[in-house]
Structure 1
Amino acid sequence: METHHDRIGLLDFGRAALGLLPSAISSLWATLKVYALTPDSHQSIGSILEYQAENVPDKDCLLFEGQRWSYRDFNAWANRIAHVLKTHGVGPGDTVGLLFENCPELLACVAAVAKLGAVAGMLNPKQRGAVLSHSMRTIQPRLMVIGDGCLPALHSASPPQPDSVPRLWAGMGPVPRGLVDLPAACAGASTANPPSTGGVRAGAPCYFIFTSGTTGLPKASVMTHLRWLRSGYGMGQAAMRLRADDVFYCPLPFHHNNALTLCWSAVLTSGATLAMARKFSASGFWRDIRASGATAFVYIGELCRYLLNQPPGPHDRDHRVRVVIGNGLRPEIWDEFQQRFGIAHICEFYGSSEGNLVFINAFGLPRTAGFTSLPYAIVAFDTANERPVRDARGFMRRVAVGEAGLLITEVDAGHPFDGYTDAEATEAKLLHDVFKKGDVWINSGDLVRSQGLRHIAFVDRVGDTFRWKGENVATTEVERAIGAVKGVAQASVYGVAVAHSDGRAGMAAVVLHPGAAFDGRAMAQDLCRALPVYAVPIFVRIIKAQETTGTFKLRKVELKQQGFDPALVDEPLFVLLDRDHGYQPLTRAIHCRILAGTVRW
């Protein structure tokens, strides 16, 4: 079988292109829509929803746990919420903080906020304490809307939001003290489309998506209606070729872009149906697919591996799915996944919340993150010092086809960088004077390999962020939490590859105060309280001192290389197999089980 070193040949490319001829006209039309969009276009999330509600009012818009909403009903629901929010003073440019698990109320609130020309702050319900408080301060909400199951997260935020910020309750059951009952307020509200929708331009922000970065604390990337629309027409229609009779199943969290931007835009722009799941379940996945009649679904690489890890059964191909889209499907499981489940078109893509570039496997080729027509470069990268290589003149060098390097994307008038709410964080992502004086490029933070014909394969992330369980983990955030544990003097956190798992698991090299003993159970309890589940390190290594670079940054290169192998590490190693029991010694026997894949997280 070929590997991720595959090059895209002209013959394979030509065959794939010929296979697209039957749907070429619809794909071309969707592509033309993308290029026709400008920041001043009179299109937005709200206008697209209103268009579908008028033209296909009885068509299913949303499915959730046996419930159905037509386009007419969902639009009317969003309108009621919009009118209520307006009575609380929400208007163009204001931010509304939304703290929700997956549920229909979340999408109705996002649509309502968008119709007012306001911005939805998509808070991560997995965040806790100071991290969630930081996220709230970052978006500076005019008001907050809270969903079911999110009160513990809200109450953990320290310091809490000031009393001057109204809080609306969109959950079921009794209304918590201090919150306004949103469903009750909506009962008598108007179902008419708010006039403000017509004034919203495509270039205006529609929501903030939080992404972890090298600064440690989450950053709010700015998403515009324009990017949402381009995703819908470009990825949903041109690449996936989604139709009005499709049902798009999404088990991913809607405070992330794969769900909110990719899935929802594809559905609304094509007049299709969204089947929302409360959360992903490997054992119940195909049952949900069949029950909803789904013809498409979205994935992350780890999701695909979980499905492959389920015992093969007679119903593996008992479904109507014809196309899937997502990122992180590793080359080594690509063919097995496609063949076992009978997926005709795997639409792998590469992109980021804050970036200005998307690669997408629109031609259906195997083991590739896809193609782009947009400007980019792959440059030589110094992995030891984790920075791009510059020559004697100070410029970077493009790598050859087949060689791994740092992916960078050009910033110009036609390809702007929306960036973050934090100007300093935005500037930190930029590279200047890359190939000539005055040019500006975005540092993706990712190593990729050119496959030829403008296709790439993802290799790995660099810097102080690694990906685990579909989430970006900022090492400085984890280091801060470990530093607060009793007895810890210093910690260095990094990602390590684990057999039979996608991404990299967290590992911490910990220096203890003199005389302090390592308490694995106490550390696990403290970290589980302070961090999201995905950010809690799996491995701990006790070291005598941290090695630093000449600029006093923690040196992690050798630590990453040695990983958690007892044969390479002569210092105490611990592993988190059971959160209740805490970190336990990592023996050679446990290490062998991890390598064999009998230990999983």
Structure 2
Amino acid sequence: MSQAELISPLRFITRLPGNLPRLPRMLLGLYYTGIRNREKRLSLGWALERAARLYPQRPAVIDEERRLSYAEFNAWCNRLAHALKEQGVVHGCVVAVMLENRIEVLAVLGALAKLGAIAALVNTTQRGKVLSHSLNLVKARHFVAGDELRGAFEEVRHELDDARRCYWVADGDSLGDPGDAPPGWLNLMRLALGRSSGNPVETGEVRLKDPCFYIYTSGTTGLPKASILSHGKWIKAYGGFGHSGLGLTERDVFYLTLPCYHNNAVTVSWASVLAGGAAIALRRKFSASNFWKDVARYQATCFGYIGELCRYLLNQPPCAEERGNSLSGMIGNGLRPAIWAEFKARFGIERVMEFYASSEGNIGFTNVFNFDNTVGFSPATFAIVRYDLENDRPLRDPRGFLQEVAKGESGLLISEISPKWPFDGYTDPAKSEAVILRDVFRPGDAWFNTGDLMRGIGCKHAQFVDRLGDTFRWKGENVSTTEVENTLGAFPGVEDAVVYGVEIPGTNGRCGMAALRLTAGQHLDGQALAAHLDRELPGYASPLFLRLLEEVETTGTFKYKKTELKQQAYDPEAVGAPLFARLPGDAGFRPLDAQLYQAIQRGEFRF
């Protein structure tokens, strides 16, 4: 990774004059990010109603066929809220939401936020036992599913603790014609017809401390965990990203292709939009070939990204629509320093609002001052401390306290837990306690362990370095090795499975690789194994490379030894054992020899 240039006070000060026109919005943003009173009645629903009051006739949501003003969209959310309330959805109720990126998903989330209900944002790629686990984990008793995902839900419905209250949304313009719900489902949009379009009184009672979303994260162990995204954290994003950061206005259009079960979409992007009364233009799924056509159609001025998305765009051949495009800014995370300058130059992007945050954590960084190769600035109290990678733990001095690294050195990022920067954590208290470090710099203090290596570069700015532990990141998602190992172990003939991340040149993050020990006399059926993985895992979690082992090395506590496996990766010369690869578009795994390895290294396949 390229090291970001250190930011001296003088270099920082030279950026300030260019930001003077933005000063009023920046100060407003600091107000929202600095609110300490968690009983204060501010929420996503409040932000939506504020935007509808200030910008009633400006476009709020857009897709290929529809364009709704803030007044129209807010009224729709209100009708849905009143309908759901009649169905028993009240403050604190958990409602699982399974919809692809379309206007309906934002309307449902807006309605739930107004009632103070908690939307569990189900990853739309989850299937089978992972999906049933996620739905039962949060004790959901109401379920909203689009017709496009009804099949996936029906497969696990019998495994749910209580699935009597299921609401169906047609796959189409459900605002115009809600259609007929299948047997066993209530038609949510039809229930909303004729309901009051007035703002529900419940919105004024929702507090910063109340949960807004449950967002699923694989974390570092096993099946998905549900992190709590409070209205307070959403309002911090509203202030930090929306007002202090991007500063969008009612003349802006934000193009969103990131999935709406992702924090980047429903918190970072939507909060940025609502803060200034901008419009949000949705696409069901990201398409590199249609990206610039959509930007031109909507005259988008900003878009949300993850690093992989940017790489896909750079890999596309130049097209007419990208030249002189309407984009001026972008917000997201994971833009690699290696392509940062090239991306800005090719597409004429003036501002890269790179940020760092996590659904469960209490800290965020934002590139407010538009420096290159940095996740930006954080107002939170944080430290970057020495970390023992060999023993996988922070280093403590003879007194038992942690030690900060020098500016420019990498270490573990931790953030102090305080009334101003509370830690909402996970739905499972034990999982929350596991990521809290105590007695860090003084007896009795508590800090959130981000699990990430960062480099301080001065003036409260940082650069992301890497993630700790076995979890690796691929396609913008965290992949749990334990979950993948368990799935592989369930396949007939697999005795042991060791999963780890490996790098493919020219890609972001690490893809999955598995070392397998087969039952004596068994042979690998690459096509059957691939079909099994497709059934049980999201696409991003499925390994792309396999190797066969005679024996699996473990530690004294029966943990797999992965260091050498990671170093050898999928290089036939280093491995000296059978190797297999699943190339883009393949239905199964094929043998990987030196010739295919070199082709992959040359970038002949687009993973």
TM-score (norm 1): 0.97
Q: How does 1:66-77 map to 2 (within 5 A)?
A: 66-77=65-76
**Other structure's SS at 1:355 match:** coil
Q: How does 1:118-137 map to 2 (within 5 A)?
A: 118-137=117-136
Q: Which amino acid aligns with 2:80?
A: I
Name which of structure 1's ranges 377-386 and 582-591 shifts more when overlaid on structure 2: 377-386
Q: How does 1:94-173 map to 2 (within 5 A)?
A: 94-157=93-156, 159-162=158-161, 165-172=164-171, 173=179
Give the share of equivalent positions with the same residue, in percent.
47
| Partners of 2:157 and 2:190 in 1: CA distance | 29
Indicate which of 293, 307, 312 corresponds to 2:313.
Answer: 307
1:256 aligns with 2:262: yes
Q: Which amino acid aligns with 1:202?
A: L
| Structure 1 residue 368: Cα displacement | 1.0
1:475 maps to which residue?
Answer: 481
| Partners of 2:137 and 2:356 in 1: CA distance | 27
Name which of structure 1's ranges 92-101 and 165-174 shifts more when overlaid on structure 2: 165-174
Instruction: For residues 470-495 of structure 1, give each alpha carbon's deviation from its aligned partner in whole angstroms, at most 9, with x where no partner exists.
Output: 11111111011000111001111111
| Structure 1 residue 174: Cα displacement | 4.0
Name which of structure 1's ranges 345-354 and 398-407 shifts more when overlaid on structure 2: 398-407
Contact 2:512–2:543 (Cα < 8 Å) also in 1: yes
Q: Which amino acid aligns with 1:219?
A: K
Q: Which amino acid aligns with 1:120?
A: A
1:358 maps to which residue?
Answer: 364
1:583 maps to which residue?
Answer: 589
| Partners of 1:158 and 1:198 in 2: CA distance | 35
Q: How does 1:350-499 map to 2 (within 5 A)?
A: 350-499=356-505
1:528 aligns with 2:528: no
Q: Which amino acid aligns with 1:496?
A: V
Name which of structure 1's ranges 568-577 and 531-540 shifts more when overlaid on structure 2: 568-577
Q: How does 1:200-349 map to 2 (within 5 A)?
A: 200-349=206-355
| Partners of 1:147 and 1:5 in 2: CA distance | 44
Contact 2:157–2:163 (Cα < 8 Å) also in 1: no
Q: Which amino acid aligns with 1:153?
A: A
| Partners of 2:262 and 2:402 in 1: CA distance | 33
Contact 1:37–1:226 (Cα < 8 Å) also in 2: no
Q: Which amino acid aligns with 2:246?
A: M
Contact 1:141–1:165 (Cα < 8 Å) also in 2: no
Q: Which amino acid aligns with 1:310?
A: Q
**Other structure's SS at 1:12 match:** helix
Contact 1:214–1:465 (Cα < 8 Å) also in 2: yes
| Partners of 1:159 and 1:514 in 2: CA distance | 37
Instruction: For residues 185-223 of structure 1, give each alpha carbon's deviation from its aligned partner in whole angstroms, at most 9, with x where no partner exists.
Output: 111222122111111112211111111112211111111
Q: Which amino acid aligns with 1:307?
A: L
| Partners of 2:567 and 2:396 in 1: CA distance | 25
Q: Which amino acid aligns with 1:91?
A: V
Contact 2:256–2:303 (Cα < 8 Å) also in 1: yes
| Structure 1 residue 358: Cα displacement | 0.7
Judged with a 3 Å threshold, the aligned counterparts in structure 2 of structure 1 residues 599 and 580 are, in CA distance, closer, same or farther, namely closer
**Other structure's SS at 2:582 match:** strand
Contact 1:247–1:294 (Cα < 8 Å) also in 2: yes
| Partners of 1:499 and 1:578 in 2: CA distance | 15
1:19 maps to which residue?
Answer: 18
Q: Which amino acid aligns with 2:137?
A: T
Q: Which amino acid aligns with 1:9?
A: S
Instruction: For residues 447-467 of structure 1, give each alpha carbon's deviation from its aligned partner in whole angstroms, at most 9, with x where no partner exists.
Output: 122222222111111112111
1:516 maps to which residue?
Answer: 522
| Partners of 2:277 and 2:359 in 1: CA distance | 24
Q: Which amino acid aligns with 1:53?
A: A
| Structure 1 residue 163: Cα displacement | 5.5
Q: Which amino acid aligns with 2:514?
A: A
| Partners of 2:50 and 2:460 in 1: CA distance | 36
| Structure 1 residue 155: Cα displacement | 2.3
| Structure 1 residue 437: Cα displacement | 2.7
Gap regions ≥5 residues in structure 1:
none
| Partners of 2:165 and 2:25 in 1: CA distance | 46
**Other structure's SS at 2:207 match:** coil
2:175 maps to which residue?
Answer: none
| Partners of 1:347 and 1:241 in 2: CA distance | 11
Indicate which of 496, 501, 506 corresponds to 1:500.
Answer: 506
| Partners of 2:449 and 2:520 in 1: CA distance | 40
Q: Which amino acid aligns with 1:3?
A: S
| Partners of 2:189 and 2:558 in 1: CA distance | 54
1:46 maps to which residue?
Answer: 45
| Structure 1 residue 11: Cα displacement | 4.1
| Partners of 1:418 and 1:29 in 2: CA distance | 24
| Structure 1 residue 393: Cα displacement | 3.7
Name which of structure 1's ranges 400-409 and 123-132 shifts more when overlaid on structure 2: 400-409
**Other structure's SS at 1:444 match:** strand
| Structure 1 residue 403: Cα displacement | 1.8
Contact 1:368–1:455 (Cα < 8 Å) also in 2: yes
| Partners of 1:510 and 1:162 in 2: CA distance | 35
Instruction: For residues 382-437 of structure 1, give each alpha carbon's deviation from its aligned partner in whole angstroms, at most 9, with x where no partner exists.
Output: 22333322344433222222222111111122211100101111111112222333
**Other structure's SS at 1:315 match:** helix
* Residues matched between the structures, number: 600
Contact 1:525–1:579 (Cα < 8 Å) also in 2: no
Instruction: For residues 224-243 of structure 1, give each alpha carbon's deviation from its aligned partner in whole angstroms, at most 9, with x where no partner exists.
Output: 11111110121111111222
| Structure 1 residue 578: Cα displacement | 5.0
2:85 maps to which residue?
Answer: 86
Contact 2:55–2:250 (Cα < 8 Å) also in 1: no
Q: Which amino acid aligns with 2:441?
A: F
Q: Which amino acid aligns with 2:133?
A: H
| Partners of 1:51 and 1:248 in 2: CA distance | 19
Name which of structure 1's ranges 368-377 and 310-319 shifts more when overlaid on structure 2: 310-319
**Other structure's SS at 1:6 match:** coil
**Other structure's SS at 1:568 match:** helix
Name which of structure 1's ranges 541-550 and 154-163 shifts more when overlaid on structure 2: 154-163
| Structure 1 residue 373: Cα displacement | 2.3
| Structure 1 residue 71: Cα displacement | 0.9
| Partners of 1:588 and 1:402 in 2: CA distance | 39
Instruction: For residues 48-70 of structure 1, give each alpha carbon's deviation from its aligned partner in whole angstroms, at most 9, with x where no partner exists.
Output: 22222233221111111131111
| Partners of 2:323 and 2:440 in 1: CA distance | 49
What is the CA RMSD across the aligned residues, in angstroms?
Answer: 1.7
**Other structure's SS at 2:265 match:** helix
| Structure 1 residue 579: Cα displacement | 5.5
| Structure 1 residue 5: Cα displacement | 4.5
Gap regions ≥5 residues in structure 2:
172-178
| Partners of 1:33 and 1:123 in 2: CA distance | 28
TM-score (norm 2): 0.96
**Other structure's SS at 2:572 match:** coil
Q: Which amino acid aligns with 1:208?
A: Y
Q: Which amino acid aligns with 2:122?
A: L
Name which of structure 1's ranges 170-179 and 276-285 shifts more when overlaid on structure 2: 170-179
2:183 maps to which residue?
Answer: 177
Contact 2:48–2:274 (Cα < 8 Å) also in 1: yes
**Other structure's SS at 2:561 match:** coil
Contact 1:129–1:158 (Cα < 8 Å) also in 2: no
**Other structure's SS at 1:221 match:** strand
**Other structure's SS at 1:399 match:** coil
